[in-house]
Amino acid sequence: MLTTQARLVRHPRAPWTGPELSIAAACIVNDRGAGLCRFEVVGAVESIVVPAACAPVAADGLWQHTCFELFVGRRGAAAYREFNFSPSGEWASYAFTDYRAAAASPAVPTPVIRVEGAGGRLSLTALLGPASWPEPGAGVLEVGLAAVLETATGPLGYYALAHPAERPDFHDRRAFTLTLGPELPAT
């Protein structure tokens, strides 16, 4: 089993009028290649706009509202994948051959998304099947975890493991600071 976890930080130069929040994130891959990503927001979560629950379907533009994101690629390779998970149950999967160079996205099974909220906490857990990850092979996986938070009163908040650029950019490989490795098992 491969596990990595960290705290997300808000982009220091992006405007934000929301409350101070703490976001912990973790990514776990088991011996069969299934993965789980968990995000937990702690603080005045009642100020966060949470999209209404709906059918678990693929949808674009989720980053325009509260959502949680996973980026993953092999160390030394330009290609990577992006996953968006909305508290609504909607999700998205994208493939890239290089920085923001879209590729045909492989078919992936619908992730199982569970959302819980109570007592100053909002958590989202997404379970991904083995086919969701980059092709098995030698090498370490580099992981970026991020969150976009929306409030009713101001601009979006952008949280990530690191913010190496002047503007929020979750696709910047310098923000893929967690590792899983040495490799995922073949499926």
Residue 185 placed within a domain: no
Q: How many domains does the chain have?
A: 1
Query: Tens digits of per-residue pLDDT, 7-58?
Result: 999 999 888 888 889 999 999 887 777 889 999 999 999 999 999 999 999 9
pLDDT confidence of residue 63: 95
Identify whether 82 is part of a domain. Answer: yes
Alpha carbons within 13 angstroms on the beta-carbon side of residue 40 total 11
Mean pLDDT (the chain) is 89
Please write down the long-range contacts of 113-121, taking CB distance under 8 Å and 24 or more positions apart: 113/56, 113/85, 113/86, 113/87, 113/89, 115/50, 115/53, 115/87, 115/89, 117/45, 117/50, 120/42, 120/43, 120/44, 120/45, 121/40, 121/41, 121/42, 121/45
Q: What percent of the chain has pLDDT over 90?
A: 67
* In the predicted structure, residue 187 carries a pLDDT above the cut 50: no
- Residue 186, pLDDT > 60, answer no
Confidence of residue 185 (pLDDT cuts 50, 70, 90): very low
Q: What is the mean pLDDT of residues 162-183?
A: 89
Q: In terms of residue numbers, what domain contains 117?
A: 2-180
% of the chain surpassing 70 pLDDT: 93
92 within domain boundaries: yes
Residue 186 falls inside a structural domain = no
pTM, entire model: 0.92
Q: CATH number, domain at 102?
A: 2.60.40.1190
- pLDDT band of 132, cuts 50, 70, 90: confident
Radius of gyration of the chain (CA): 16
Higher pLDDT pick, 115 / 186? 115
pLDDT digits (tens, 9 = 90+) for 68-94: 999 999 889 999 999 999 999 999 999
Position 180 scores a pLDDT of 80
User: Is position 187 within any domain?
Assistant: no
